[in-house]
Every structure is written in C-alpha cells, then in structure tokens.
Amino acid sequence: MAVLTKNPSRNIPDSNIVLADFLTGRVPTGHQEDYLLALETALADFNPVTVAPFRYPQLHAPADVPTIERGNRIGRYLATFRVSMRYLNAPTPTLLIFHGPEFRDFIAFAAAALMRRRRGQGRGVFVMRRKAWAIVGRRGLKARLLDAVIKWMAPSRFFYMLSDSRSVMDYWLGCTGVDGPILSIPTRRPVETVTRKPEDSVVIGLLGGFRLEKGASLYSAVIAMALGESSTEVDCQISENAAESEEIALMRSLTNKWQGNPRVRFHCGHLDATAFARLLYSVDIVVLPYDAESYGPGTSGILFEALAAGRIVAITRIDWAVQEYADHPNILWLEDRNSDTIKAALKNATERVVTARKTGGLSVPDTDQFKQTWCAALKDAARD
C-alpha cells in the first residue's frame, strides 16, 4: 500500500483506488487516524494509495516531505482541487474516495469536475459517516450551495455517495431520486476479543461522555439494577473534565458508592483509540439512558460504534435514533427512563447475550465482511 504525505498535486502513482484525507493530523479529535488505518487495512487487497498531507506532524515528518500548513484554508482547497483534477482525468478507471469529506471537498471536487477532460475515467466516492448530517443538514448559504452542487453532480457518472447513515441516504434520495446502499463502515481497527462461555459474566457498559443529557444522573441506578443479577459486571466511563457542577457532584457520588465493588470498573478520562476499542469489544450490552428533551438533534457516536461492533444497545427512544435504526435487531428501545423500563431492558438484553453465547457469541463484523460489502459497493460506483 502506498502512503503519501507529499504535495498531493505531484508524483502520485496511478492506482485504482485513492483515499483522500485532509483531516488526519489536522483535526485532533474523532480518532481520525485510527479510522484511516482501519479503512486502509480493510481495503489492502485493492492496493490503495493514500493522499494525506497532514498525517504526520511536521516535526516528525521526513525532511523531504513538504506539508500544507494546517491553517492554510486556500491551500487545502487547492490541494483538493489538484487531487480531484488528477484522478478525474485518469486514463484508467479510478475511484477517488473522500472518506471524511468536508464542505471544501465537495466544492473543490465540483470545480475540478467542471474542467475535467471528456475521456477521463475517474470518479469521486464521498463516504458520509456518522454525524454527516452536520454537513448535509445545515441551513444557510453554505447548505444551499452544497445542495446545488450535489444535485448538479448527482446525475453524473463521476460522483457517488456511500454512508452508514439512513438520514444521509434519505438526503441523497431526495437529491437524486435514487436510493443508495447503507454500508458498515469500519471506525476501529480489529482488536482481539475474548470468547465468553454462557456461564461467564455478562458485561454492561456505560460508555461515552459523562453528561447530564446522556443520562449521567441514572448511572448509579443502572449499576444497582445490573448488579441485581449475580453474573453481571459493569464498565463505566467517567470524565476528567466534567463542566457542570452537578455532573462533578454526580461523578464523585458515583465513584464513592461503587469504587470498591469488584464487579464495577471505572475508566477515567479520554481513552486512546486502541483502549476504547478494547473497552467497547469487552462489553456485551451498552446502555444509553439519554434525556430525549435535553439531548437535542445530534447523533450519538457511541450508538453507531456499538452497533457496528455487534453489541446490544438499550437506548432511549429519540427521533433521530429511530430514524436511523427503527428496526435494528440489536436495539432495545427505552420508552421512558423509569426504573422498571430499564430493568426490563437489562433482563431482556442479558438473556439475549446468554442465548447468543450458546451459538457462538455476539456477531462482530470482521474485515472479511467489510471487504465483501465494500467490494460490491465500489464495483457499483465504478460501473458505467
């Protein structure tokens, strides 16, 4: 696999698949580096080229590797434009994959498409991941411009969209009149998992930011209900930098009450990509007792990742979550946040975990499954 950090306008070897990444190394949040590595691993058989000028900090980059300044917005527009021009005009079928597209990528790609040569055989594949609604769901001048650009490019043979989000593909359907595939998109590299026996403890996870809108006030009650079963353990993630005084008080109360219990494990602060992946795959059930009224219209990264990892999720019924996953087999919807409702969901989920273990355990999407679904999707994108 070729990995380039040089100026993306020059010396890029020909490849059937090119991963364009202007986020890794520039945006420090979101585990972008891990997502890129997971994608490279899963697509390794296709021998992709990666164009990632910010991937390595300049201080650690080889001396002969020029980089674009992180704050240079015009430079990023030009870099995206040049990469798009190069591969749209490729003499052989080439897929240019923007796996974490920003507004700039759509605009620069559209500008390159206006100038493409008629015989060019390249096309762009925009992968809209979770939280993609932040781009396609905006209102204002940028949103109207983005709508116009997508609607103009959609009927063409050089533009294609993939997503793991139902709301994004509904947007695509509205622009094009054609529904697109919803794929499983790897956000974590594979980690070793422990195969548990039916008689082993069921592990319940309270993961994500320790926030009031995410149900932090219910964590202690959830732990108490979980420990009501003799074969249940709990992994609970808490924050080092809780902003609200109420959150700080809740966290102190929670740790004071449960810290000494051997069946409860606390994980404090931000976990790196590998540590979080191990934690996610070590739990069987993820409980998300969100406050539907205060949570707002945003999505949940933990929900997307837990389902992608094959975990069972008990979550409050929120409109955006229902829109995405109304009939998902691994979701147990909490109609309210009453103790009886949560207790019933935990019992149901625990029974399902034990039953699944008797037949081989929870289904965890692996690299081979990803390759199969993506191979079909990329062939469709490359089809005339």
Count of beta carbons in the 10 Å neighbourhood of residue 364: 14
| C-alpha–C-alpha distance, residues 265 and 255, integer Å | 10
Confidence band of 189 (pLDDT split at 50, 70, 90):
low
Question: What's phi and psi for 238, nearest 5 deg?
Answer: -125, 165
Q: Give the residue among 304, 21, 356 at the shortest CA–CA distance from 188.
A: 304
Across residues 56-75, what is the average pLDDT?
A: 54
| C-alpha–C-alpha distance, residues 220 and 226, integer Å | 10
Q: Per residue in 247-285, pLDDT tens? A: 888 899 999 999 989 999 999 877 777 788 889 988 999
Which of 5-14, 52-61, 166-175 comes out lowest in average pLDDT?
5-14
Q: Per residue in 214-252, pLDDT tens? A: 999 999 999 999 998 778 999 999 876 666 688 888 899
Q: Per residue in 73-95, pLDDT tens? A: 787 888 889 889 988 888 888 88
pLDDT of 59 strictly over 60: no
Q: What was the pLDDT predicted at 286?
A: 96
Using DSSP, state whether 61 is helix, strand or coil: coil
pLDDT of 68 strictly over 60: no
Q: What was the pLDDT predicted at 294?
A: 81
Q: Per residue in 327-353, pLDDT tens? A: 888 999 999 999 999 999 999 999 999
CA end-to-end span of the chain: 26
Copy the structure tokens of residue 329: 């087999």
Q: Per residue in 353-363, pLDDT tens? A: 998 888 876 76
Q: Is 340 exposed, middle or buried (0-12, 13-18, 19+ CB in 10 A)?
A: exposed
**Domains of the chain in sequence order:** 2-186+371-382 (3.40.50), 202-358 (3.40.50.2000)
Q: Of all residues in the chain, what percent carry a pLDDT higher than 90?
A: 20
Confidence band of 61 (pLDDT split at 50, 70, 90):
very low
> pTM score, two decimals?
0.76
